[in-house]
């Protein structure tokens, strides 16, 4: 089985997953488009399955080109492309009854001013990740001085009762990790595993169902005892998830097997 991985950097969980996959005889083709120029004429489908680990614009575009050439991608490229856009994601989650904060979009952020009468907002770049470009805003004048990172969405800020409740899903198995935000040091990334309540399980499974995927991560903020899903990742970090490399490798081999049978794109886009 040949698996292409489009990536920028490798966290320890992913590094270990690669080791487990190699041990099982999987041939890995690591593509790092940021590090080496890609001649588009040479870009062709050379692997049974492509894993889109990186979220950069370049990685996404290379994956899109491969998808157009018939590659099977994990998660499916069209889904990943949609999930990069927090405006689309938030609306889809709301439609599915997933608790999300009230969210507003405007090309001119001064339009958000009246919303501040009812409490603080958190502004996020609409294609943001890893906490980049996020601002909590309490007063109207703070909106004027902000250095904005392109198109932003404004979300009702729900002061958290504690650390984020991150939820990872690998093939329907759910894992809860409590993690502080923002992280202060690298070890904070590991967080603390916790048992998911029935409510959080239900929320997490509904998020996967919205996008038709079973490999993803969620950031959930619990405020006043109520959970709000604030972010969904197409491929989480899985840091702190017990035994993550083995569970991920099992999942990837199963997906690769389905891709080799030509079943992956069909079942996943259905």
Ligand X SMILES: Nc1ncnc2c1ncn2[C@@H]1O[C@H](COP(=O)(O)OP(=O)(O)O)[C@@H](O)[C@H]1O
Is 6 exposed, middle or buried (CB count within 10 Å of its CB: 0-12, 13-18, 19+)? buried
Site string for Mg ion, 209-228 (x = CB under 5 A): ----------x---------
Q: Which of 122, 152, 244, 255 binds ligand X (CB under 6 A)?
A: 122
Residue 219: CB minimum distance to Mg ion, A: 4
Cα 144 → chain centroid? 30
Return d(Cα 196, Cα 19) in angstroms, integer: 29
Q: Report the alpha-carbon angle 124-87-136, nearest 5.
A: 20
Q: Smaller CB distance to ligand X: residue 43 or 134?
A: 134
Residue 135: CB minimum distance to ligand X, A: 10
Return d(Cα 196, Cα 191) in angstroms, integer: 14
Q: Is 164 in the site for Mg ion (CB under 5 A)?
A: no
Q: Is 231 in the site for Mg ion (CB under 5 A)?
A: yes
Q: Is 128 in the site for ligand X (CB under 6 A)?
A: yes
Return d(Cα 58, Cα 213) in angstroms, integer: 23
Site string for ligand X, 221-240 (x = CB under 6 A): x--------xx---------
Q: Smaller CB distance to Mg ion: residue 48 or 219?
A: 219
174 pairs with which residues across the strands? 169
Residue 101 binds which entry of ligand X, Mg ion, none, with Cβ cut-offs from 5 to 8 Å by kind? ligand X
Q: Smaller CB distance to ligand X: residue 99 or 140?
A: 99
Residue 59 vs residues 5, 33, 55: alpha-carbon distances, Å: 10, 6, 6
Interface size with ligand X, residues (CB under 6 A): 20
Q: Is 268 in the site for ligand X (CB under 6 A)?
A: no
């Amino acid at each position: 089985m040949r698996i292409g991985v489009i990536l920028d950097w490798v966290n320890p969980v992913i590094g270990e997953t690669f080791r487990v996959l190699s041990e099982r005889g999987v041939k890995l083709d690591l593509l790092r488009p940021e590090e080496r120029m890609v001649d588009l004429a040479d870009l062709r489908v050379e692997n049974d399955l492509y894993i889109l680990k990186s979220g950069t614009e370049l990685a996404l575009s290379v994956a899109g080109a491969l998808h157009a050439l018939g590659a099977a991608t994990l998660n499916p490229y069209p889904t990943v492309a949609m999930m990069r856009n927090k405006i689309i994601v938030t609306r889809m989650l709301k439609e599915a009854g997933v608790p999300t904060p009230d969210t507003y979009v405007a090309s001119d952020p001064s339009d958000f001013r009246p919303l501040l009468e009812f409490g603080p907002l958190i502004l996020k770049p609409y294609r943001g990740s890893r906490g980049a470009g996020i601002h909590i805003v309490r007063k109207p004048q703070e909106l004027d001085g902000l250095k904005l990172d392109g198109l932003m969405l404004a979300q009702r800020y729900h002061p958290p009762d504690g650390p984020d409740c991150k939820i990872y899903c690998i093939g329907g198995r759910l894992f809860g990790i409590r993690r502080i935000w923002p992280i202060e040091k690298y070890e904070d990334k590991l967080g603390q595993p916790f048992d998911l309540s029935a409510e959080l399980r239900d929320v997490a499974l509904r998020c996967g169902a919205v996008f038709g995927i079973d490999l993803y991560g969620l950031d959930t903020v619990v405020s006043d005892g109520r959970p709000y899903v604030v972010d969904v990742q197409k491929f989480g970090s899985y840091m702190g998830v017990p035994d993550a490399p083995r569970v991920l490798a099992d999942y990837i081999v199963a997906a690769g097997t389905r891709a080799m049978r030509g079943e992956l794109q069909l079942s996943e886009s259905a």
